[in-house]
């Protein structure tokens, strides 16, 4: 199969498609046989606060969904994505070119475990991450390498992500994380051990009568201990129909 060109002049490789992000007419290139972004990334972009002039880094950016959405939703100065898989980083760069965001968003290929060495200590106001949720005790590892790396802690652990976030943040900088509630005790312990104090938490429930399957956290480097547990976010009001809050986050 030959490469094809989008209507914006960016080449698509075999198996790739262009999806509408419903923000600023931005689009993103994805490959369904590799790894496509999910609701967790969109919810994290909605939970993250970026003030005018701030610099933001997304650890493990995949195809660039969080930096692109944060550029659309906030007044941040600059957005960087760090991604270890070259194929995903290449899709992210082409999406950035397609949306003409080269002056605002950069994609860097590199290892999360070496992020502070790559970018320097205290170099960002905000760090975000939608990391692999599962360790080797959790579930079957996908046979597709790209999906396995995204879902399981194969190339980095929760501790790696938190340690590097702390090093990368300026004093009082903010770290935003989406993860699974079944690891919440471990998550909070690791955050506190590395000086990232959880300040806000929101649990995400698929339905109002179902247990949460995601947790969103805002942490501040060097802050005192006090957390606000916010009202839960409910995804569906009935089967296949989102709640108004979800529609608002997606921009529909």
In the chain, what are the domains? 38-86+102-250 (3.40.50.150)
**pLDDT value, residue 7:** 62
- Both tokens of 9, joined, read 């002049």
- 144: pLDDT strictly greater than 50: no
pTM greater than the 0.85 cutoff: yes
37-92 residue pLDDT tens: 999 999 999 999 999 999 999 999 999 999 999 999 999 999 999 999 999 999 99
The mean predicted confidence, pLDDT, of the chain is: 90
Beta-bridge mates of residue 58? 81, 128
| Ordered DSSP codes for 83-106 | ES-HHHHHHHHHHHHHTT-TTTEE
In sequence order, the 6+-apart residues with CB closer than 8 A to the CB of 71 are: 79, 101, 104, 105
Q: Which of 72, 68, 76 is nearest to 52 (CA)?
A: 76
Percent of the chain with pLDDT over 90: 83
Q: Which of 231, 234, 229, 228 is nearest to 248 (CA)?
A: 234
Are 66 and 81 contacting, i.e. CB atoms less than 8 angstroms apart?
Answer: yes
- 152: pLDDT strictly greater than 50: no
- 142: pLDDT strictly greater than 60: no
- Spatial separation of the C-alpha atoms in residues 68 and 26, rounded to whole Å: 8
Please give the residue that has the higher pLDDT: either 38 or 252: 38
- 11: pLDDT strictly greater than 90: no
Averaged pLDDT, 147-167: 76
């Amino acid at each position: 199969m030959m490469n094809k060109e989008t209507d914006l002049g960016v080449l698509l490789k075999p198996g790739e498609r262009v999806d509408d992000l419903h923000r600023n007419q931005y689009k993103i290139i994805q490959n369904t046989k590799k790894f496509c972004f999910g609701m967790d990334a969109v919810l994290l972009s909605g939970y993250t606060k970026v003030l005018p002039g701030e610099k933001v880094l997304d650890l493990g950016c995949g195809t660039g969904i969080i930096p692109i959405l944060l550029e659309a939703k906030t007044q941040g100065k600059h957005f960087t994505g760090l991604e270890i898989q070259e194929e995903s980083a290449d899709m992210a760069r082409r999406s950035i070119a397609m949306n003409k965001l080269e002056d605002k968003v950069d994609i860097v290929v590199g290892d999360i475990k070496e992020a502070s060495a790559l970018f320097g200590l205290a170099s960002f106001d905000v760090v975000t991450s939608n990391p692999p949720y599962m360790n080797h005790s959790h579930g079957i590892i996908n046979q597709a390498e790209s999906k396995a790396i995204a879902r399981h802690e194969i190339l980095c652990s929760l501790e790696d992500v938190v340690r590097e976030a702390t090093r990368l943040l300026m004093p009082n900088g903010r770290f935003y994380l989406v993860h699974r509630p079944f690891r919440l005790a471990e998550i909070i312990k690791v955050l506190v051990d590395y000086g990232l104090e959880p300040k806000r938490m929101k649990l995400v429930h698929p339905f109002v009568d179902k247990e949460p399957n995601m947790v969103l956290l805002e942490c501040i480097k060097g802050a005192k201990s006090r957390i606000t547990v916010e009202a839960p976010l409910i995804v569906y009001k009935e089967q296949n129909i989102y709640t108004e809050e979800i529609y608002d986050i997606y921009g529909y």
